[in-house]
Structure 1
Amino acid sequence: MQRRPLALALALALASPAALAQSPTADEPAPRDRATTLDTLIVTGTRVADRTVAESASPIDIISPETLESTGTVELATALSRALPSLNFPRPAITDGTDAVRPAQLRGLAPDQVLVLVNGKRRHTTALINLNGSQGRGSSPVDLNAIPIAAIERVEVLRDGASAQYGSDAIAGVINIVLKGSDAGGSIAARYGQYSAGDGEQYQVSGDGGIALGEAGFLHLAAQAGHQDQTDRARPFQGTPTASSPPLGAVVQRYGDPEVDSRAVSYNAEISPAEGVVFYSFGTYSKRDALSNGFFRPAGDNRNIPEIYPDGFLPNIRNIADDRAGVIGLRGTTAGGTGIDISFNHGINHLTFDVENSLNRTLGPTSPTNFHAGALEVSQNVLNLDFNKILDVGLEYPVAVAWGAEWRGEKFNQSPGEPASYADANLILPDGSRAPPGAQVFPGFQPSNAGQHDRHSYSFYLDAEADLGDRFSAGLAARYENYSDFGSTTSGKLSARYAISDAVALRGTVSTGFRAPSLQQQHFQSTSTNFIGGVPFEVRTFAVDDPVAVALGAEPLKAEESTNVSLGLVLQPVDALYVTIDAYQIDIDDRIILSENLVGDAVRDFLERPEIGIFGVNGGRYFTNAIDTRTRGVDLIGTYRWALGAGNLDFTAGFNYNDTDIRRIAPNPPELETGDLDLERIGRVEQGRVTVGAPSDKLFLSGVWNSGSWTLSAAATRYGEFEVLNGDPARDQTFGAEWTLDVSAAYAIGGWDFTVGADNVFDAYPDEVIFVNSNSGQLPYSAASPFGFNGAFAYGRIGYRW
Structure 2
Amino acid sequence: MPSRPIAQPLLLASLIATVVVPAFAQQAADGELQSVVVTGTYAKNRRTIDSESPVDIIGARELQASGSTELATVLGRLLPSMNFPRPSGADASDAVRPAQLRGLSPDQTLVLVNGKRRHTSAVVNVNGTQGRGSAPVDLNAIPLSAIDHIEVLRDGAAAQYGSDAIAGVINIILKKGANGGEVEVGFGEYQERDGKQKTLRGSTGFSLGDDGWVRVAIEAADRDPTNRAGADFRTPTEPRYGRVNQRFGDPETKPRTLFVNSQYRINDNVDWYAFANYGRRETEAAATWRTSGRTPLFPEGFLPLENSTSTDATLVTGLRGEVSGWRWDASLNYGQNEFKLDLDNTANLDLGANSPTHFYAGKLSNKQALFNFDVAREFPVEAFSGPLTVALGVEARHEKYEIGAGDLASYSGTGAQGFSGFRPINAGSNSRHNESIYGNLEAEITKQFSASAALRHERYSDFGSTTSAKGSARYAFNDKVSLRGTASSGFRAPSLAQQFYTITTTNFSVVNGVNTPIETGTFAVGSAAAAALGATPLKAEKARNYSLGLQLQPTRDWTASIDAYRIDIDDRVALSANMTLSPVLRNTLAAQGILVGAGRYFTNAIDTRTTGVDIVSTYRWDLASAGRYDFTAAYNHNKNTLEHVNANPAVLSANGLTLIDRQTINRLTVGSPKDKFSLATDWTLGAWNARGVVTRYGSFTVPQNSAALDQVYDPQWVLDLSAGVKLSKNWRLSVGIDNVTDRYPDQVTSLGNLNNNGINPYSGFAPNGFNGRYYYAKAGYSW
Please report the TM-score for the alignment, with normalisation by the length of structure 1: 0.92
From 470, 475, 481, give the equivalent of 1:498. Answer: 475
Distance in 1, Cα, partners of 2:57 & 2:388: 26
Query: Is 1:665 matched up with 2:645?
Result: yes
1:469 aligns with 2:446: yes
Alignment of 1:363-382 (within 5 A): 363-382=351-370
Aligned residues of 1:340 and 1:388 also touching (Cα < 8 A) = yes
**Aligned-residue offset at 1:529:** 2.8
- Of 241, 244, 260, the match for 1:251: 244
Say if 1:381 and 1:410, in contact at 8 Å, map to a contact too.
Answer: yes
Task: Check conservation: 2:275, 2:315, Cα contact below 8 A.
Answer: yes
Deviation by residue 1:451-478 (Cα, 9 ceiling, x = unmatched) = 1000000000000000010010000000
- Pick from 401, 404, 411 the counterpart of residue 412 of structure 1: 401
Shift of 1:361: 1.4
* 8 Å contact from structure 2 (residues 393, 439) kept in 1: yes
Task: Report the counterpart of residue 433 of structure 1 in structure 2.
Answer: none
Give, in whole Å, the separation in 2 of the partners of 1:273 and 1:639: 41
Tell me whether 1:459 sits opposite 2:454 in the alignment.
Answer: no
Verify: 1:351 aligned to 2:362, yes or no: no
Q: Are the equivalent residues in 1 in contact too, given 2:23–2:632 (CA < 8 A)?
A: no
**C-alpha separation in 2, matches of 1:640 and 1:720:** 25
Task: Note closer, same or farther for the CA distance 1:478–1:15 as it changes in structure 2 (3 Å cut).
Answer: farther
2:487 aligned residue: 510
State the Cα distance separating 1:48 from its structure 2 match.
2.2
Query: In 2, Cα distance between the equivalents of 1:673 and 1:752?
Result: 68
What does residue 289 of structure 1 align with?
Answer: 282
Match of 2:168 in 1: 173
Aligned counterpart in structure 2 of residue 781 of structure 1, from 737, 741, 762: 762
Alignment map for 1:698-737 (pairs within 5 Å):
698-737=676-715
Deviation at 1:40, TM superposition (A): 2.4
Change beyond 3 A, Cα 1:389–1:178: same
- Residue-by-residue CA offset, 1:2-32 (whole Å, 9 max, x unaligned): xxxxxxxxxxx99982343xxxxxxxxxx3x
Which range moves more in the overlay, 194-203 or 42-51? Answer: 42-51
SS of residue matched to 1:326: strand
> Any idea what the Cα deviations from partners look like across 1:30-54, whole Å, max 9, x if unmatched?
x3xx3xx333222210122432323
CA distance in 1: counterparts of 2:535 and 2:588, whole angstroms: 19
The aligned counterpart of 2:749 is 770
- Name the counterpart of 2:562: 581
- Residue 530 of structure 2: SS of its match in structure 1? helix
Q: Of residues 491, 499, 504 in structure 2, which corresponds to 1:527?
A: 504
2:549 counterpart of 1:549: no
Within a 5 Å distance, the mapping from 1:251-650 to structure 2 comes to 251-300=244-293, 304-305=294-295, 307-334=296-323, 336-396=324-384, 397-424=386-413, 437-533=414-510, 534-574=515-555, 576-599=557-580, 602=582, 606=586, 610-615=590-595, 617-644=596-623, 645-650=625-630
Give the secondary structure class of the aligned counterpart of 2:27.
helix
Q: Do 1:340 and 1:387's aligned partners in 2 also have CA atoms closer than 8 Å? A: yes
Question: In the alignment, what sits opposite 1:196?
Answer: 191
Q: Show CA shifts across 1:628-680 (max 9, x none).
A: 00000000013222221321111100000000001000011111122xx3111
Rounded to whole Å, the distance in 1 between the matches of 2:25 and 2:63 is 12
Corresponding residue for residue 100 of structure 2: 105
State the Cα distance separating 1:216 from its structure 2 match. 2.1
- Taking the aligned partners of 1:407 and 1:81, their CA distance within structure 2 comes to 32
Question: What are the residue-to-residue correspondences of 1:71-150 with 2, within 5 Å?
Answer: 71-150=66-145
Q: Matched residues in 1 for 2:720 and 2:590: separation?
A: 59
The answer to which structure, 1 or 2, has the higher relative contact order (CA under 8 A, 6+ apart) is 2
Counterpart CA distance in 2 for 1:226 and 1:604 is 52
**What is the aligned length?**
753
Please tell me whether the aligned partners of residues 209 and 220 of structure 1 are also in contact (alpha carbons under 8 angstroms).
Answer: yes
Q: Aligned partners of 1:16 and 1:139: how far apart in 2?
A: 32
Label 1:657 to 1:446 Cα distance change in 2 as closer, same or farther (>3 A): same
Counterpart CA distance in 2 for 1:54 and 1:92 is 38
Deviation of 1:249 (Å): 2.4
Any idea what the Cα deviations from partners look like across 1:687-729, whole Å, max 9, x if unmatched?
Answer: 1110000000000000011111110110000000100111222
- Paired letter, 2:271: V
CA distance in 1, matches of 2:758, 2:592: 38
C-alpha displacement at 1:242, in angstroms?
7.6
Instruction: Tell me the distance in 2 between the aligned counterparts of 1:112 and 1:188.
Output: 33
Shift of 1:575: 5.1
> CA contact under 8 A between 2:25 and 2:633: conserved in structure 1?
no
Deviates more, 1:572-581 or 1:163-172: 572-581
Residue 229 of structure 2: aligned partner: 234
What secondary structure sits across from 1:319 in the alignment? Answer: strand
Q: State the one-letter code of the partner of 2:299.
A: P
Q: What's the offset of the Cα at 1:86? A: 0.5
1:682 paired residue number: 660
CA drift of 1:609 comes to 5.7
Say whether 1:58 aligns with 2:53: yes
8 Å CA contact 1:19, 1:67 repeated in 2 = no
Match of 1:9 in 2: none
Task: Answer with 350-359 or 157-166: which moved more.
Answer: 350-359
**How far did residue 238 of structure 1 move?**
3.7
Report Cα offsets for 1:512-558 as digits up to 9, x if no partner.
Answer: 00000000000001123322223332221111011111111111000
Q: For the residues of structure 2 that align with 1:442 and 1:527, how far apart are their CA atoms?
A: 9
For the 8 Å contact 1:104–1:111, the answer to whether it is kept is yes
Query: Structure 1 CA distance, aligned partners of 2:239 and 2:326?
Result: 72
- Given the alignment of the two structures, is residue 740 of structure 1 paired with residue 718 of structure 2, yes or no? yes
Q: List alignment gaps of at least 5 residues for structure 1.
A: 1-12, 21-30, 425-436
- The whole-number CA distance in structure 1 between the counterparts of 2:307 and 2:770 is 22
Q: Which aligned segments of 4 or more residues in structure 1 are displaced greater than 6 angstroms?
A: 13-16
Q: Counterparts of 1:418 and 1:724 in 2: how far apart (Å)?
A: 36
2:67 aligned counterpart, secondary structure:
coil
Greater mean deviation of Cα atoms: 359-368 or 195-204: 359-368
Q: Letter of the 2:298 partner, please give it.
A: Y
Distance in 1 of aligned mates of 2:379 and 2:63: 39
- 1:427 is aligned to none
Give the Cα–Cα distance (whole angstroms) in 1 for the partners of residues 593 and 312 of structure 2. 37
TM-score relative to the length of structure 2: 0.94
Contact 2:66 2:736 in 1 (8 A): no
Secondary structure of 1:769's aligned partner: coil
Q: CA deviation at 1:607?
A: 5.1
Structure 1 residues 214 and 740, CA gap change in structure 2 (3 angstroms): same
The C-alpha deviation readout for 1:740-759, integer Å capped at 9, x for no partner, is 00000100132211000010
What is the alpha-carbon distance in structure 2 between the residues aligned to residue 124 and residue 769 of structure 1?
36
Q: Which moved more, 1:390-399 or 1:663-672?
A: 390-399
Does the 8 A contact of 2:28 with 2:618 survive in 1? Answer: no
| C-alpha deviation, 1:572, in angstroms | 2.3
In structure 1, C-alpha distance between the alignment counterparts of 2:438 and 2:379, rounded to whole Å:
18
Correspondence for 1:25: none
Residue number in structure 1 paired with 2:27:
18
